[in-house]
């Protein structure tokens, strides 16, 4: 249905009811916690474009603010494609701006990486994309830019734990604070609207675990207490147990890079940790000797990324070693397998470095999938070694074995 304002007519694209309720509401500030792939980005692009078309004029700025330059670029490209030839416009590829020729309004695509760069402009409407992954200082900056104009703001994103400013802001909106609107869009609603197929949800449910924190947050916008931890703090605690006496049936070895640690973890038949070796600042020759000595005649899976490739070749000449190159896809699959056995509480490992690294491990959703990593400046060597040992274990998740 056309929307008319100020003698201008804008034909709003089709959006399903939950998108319309979340974004095209009368409240000035709207917060949307949404499932991945639920159409929140397309809906917000439509809303921001509508603001610029109906109320724009020369000198009026309309902002899209994303956590990173890459994410801002995705929205920029999608907006250009959506406008096509329907709405005449001029594009500046360098600055990522779109100027509407009919009224001179400018839509700008910015990043919240350096919030200081967001101050100073008067903005007439703004979207903060993936707000739970955006610095709080960026929210403060964007909020200040609409002070003089009275412009509206839309915040959209996945849920990422409870211990962040975005979660608290959503709760303010949910409790009905004046001027705020709250909405939740789940995978079920997106499937009903045919935004993405039910088979995709079922595959994610199987791979991630129906009750896992990552699945519930990504697809049902349910916040856990774990601040983006893929394993679940309660599950980690339930898996802590002393080393058993073995014997080892699978080894996982993560090799040191720069200041990292070389870590080896051995699991027994019940997937209980029965061997744990860890060292750093050791020459490669001695590292190879130690790995061969500890592994013996058992099966082992070794990180063969980068410097690990020649080390793997040397190890294979001395024992039963296989390699795995870490890529975005293989690391995601490795961590999802580890998360699955921890969620099921089938794994056991000792207290200490393994537990610490598991508890501080994080995930975030990107356009290419889920990215798993340790926080900046922290180590993930024991997590990687544990994941390798689980993958190589005869009783590990069968969907990991390729």
Supply the pLDDT for residue 208: 80
Supply the pLDDT for residue 398: 53
d(CA 171, CA 186): 17
Supply the pLDDT for residue 329: 78
Supply the pLDDT for residue 137: 93
Supply the pLDDT for residue 4: 35
Nearest to 215 by CA among 391, 363, 361: 363
d(CA 386, CA 391): 9
Across the chain, which has 402 residues, the per-10-residue mean pLDDT values are 45 94 97 94 96 96 94 95 90 96 96 90 95 92 95 93 82 88 96 93 86 83 72 90 94 82 95 95 90 93 78 89 86 88 94 86 67 72 94 75 46
Phi, psi of 24 (to 5 degrees): -100, 55
d(CA 210, CA 213): 9
Supply the pLDDT for residue 365: 60
Nearest to 51 by CA among 127, 144, 141: 127
d(CA 108, CA 120): 14
Supply the pLDDT for residue 399: 45
d(CA 12, CA 54): 11
Query: Could you tell me if 328 and 371 are in contact, meaning their C-beta atoms sit under 8 angstroms apart?
Result: yes
Q: Which domains does the chain have, with CATH numbers?
A: 2-192 (3.40.50.300), 233-400 (3.30.420.240)
* DSSP state at residue 193: T
Name the H helices within 56-179: 69-83, 136-145, 165-174
Supply the pLDDT for residue 6: 37
Buried b (16+ CB within 10 A) or exposed e, 201-226: beebeebbbeebbbbbbbbbbebbeb
Query: In sequence order, what are the residues at sequence separation of 6 or more whose Cβ sits closer than 8 angstroms to the Cβ of residue 339?
Result: 208, 209, 212, 214, 230, 231
Q: How far is CA 392 from CA 97, 244, 267, 338, in A?
A: 49, 19, 10, 11
Q: How far is CA 333 from CA 261, 306, 378, in A?
A: 22, 19, 21
d(CA 26, CA 259): 53
């Amino acid at each position: 249905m056309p929307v008319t304002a100020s003698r201008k007519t804008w034909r709003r694209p089709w959006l399903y009811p939950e998108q319309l309720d979340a974004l095209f509401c009368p409240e000035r500030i709207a917060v949307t916690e949404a499932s991945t792939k639920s159409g929140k980005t397309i809906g917000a692009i439509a809303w921001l474009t509508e603001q610029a078309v109906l109320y724009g004029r020369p000198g009026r700025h309309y902002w899209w603010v994303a956590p990173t330059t890459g994410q801002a670029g995705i929205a920029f490209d999608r907006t250009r494609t959506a406008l096509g030839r329907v709405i005449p416009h001029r594009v500046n590829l360098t600055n990522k701006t779109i100027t509407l020729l009919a009224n001179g309004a400018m839509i700008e695509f910015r990043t919240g990486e350096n919030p200081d760069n967001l101050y100073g402009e008067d903005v007439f409407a703004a979207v903060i994309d993936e707000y739970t992954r955006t610095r709080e200082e960026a929210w403060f900056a964007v909020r200040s830019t609409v002070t003089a104009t009275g412009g509206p703001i839309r915040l959209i994103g996945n849920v990422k734990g409870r211990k962040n400013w975005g979660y608290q802001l959503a709760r303010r909106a949910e409790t009905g604070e004046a001027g705020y609107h709250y909405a939740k869009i789940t995978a079920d609603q997106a499937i009903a609207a045919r935004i993405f197929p039910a088979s995709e949800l079922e595959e994610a449910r199987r791979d991630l675990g129906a009750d896992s924190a990552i699945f519930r947050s990504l697809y049902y916008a349910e916040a856990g207490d774990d601040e983006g931890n893929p394993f679940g703090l309660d599950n980690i605690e339930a898996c802590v147990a002393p080393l058993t006496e073995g014997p080892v049936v699978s080894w996982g070895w993560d090799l040191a890079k720069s200041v990292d640690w070389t870590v080896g973890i051995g699991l027994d038949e019940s997937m209980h940790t029965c061997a744990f070796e860890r060292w750093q600042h050791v020459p490669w020759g001695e590292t190879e000797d130690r790995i061969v000595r500890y592994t013996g005649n058992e099966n082992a899976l070794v990180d063969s990324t980068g410097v690990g490739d020649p080390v793997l070749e040397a190890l294979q000449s001395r024992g039963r070693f296989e390699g795995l190159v870490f890529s975005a896809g293989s690391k995601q699959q490795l961590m999802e397998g580890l998360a699955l056995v921890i969620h099921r509480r089938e794994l056991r490992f000792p207290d200490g470095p393994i537990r610490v690294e598991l508890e501080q491990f994080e995930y975030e959703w990107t356009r290419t999938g889920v990215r798993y990593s340790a926080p900046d400046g922290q180590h993930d060597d024991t997590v990687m070694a544990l994941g390798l040992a689980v993958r190589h274990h005869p009783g590990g998740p069968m969907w990991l074995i390729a």
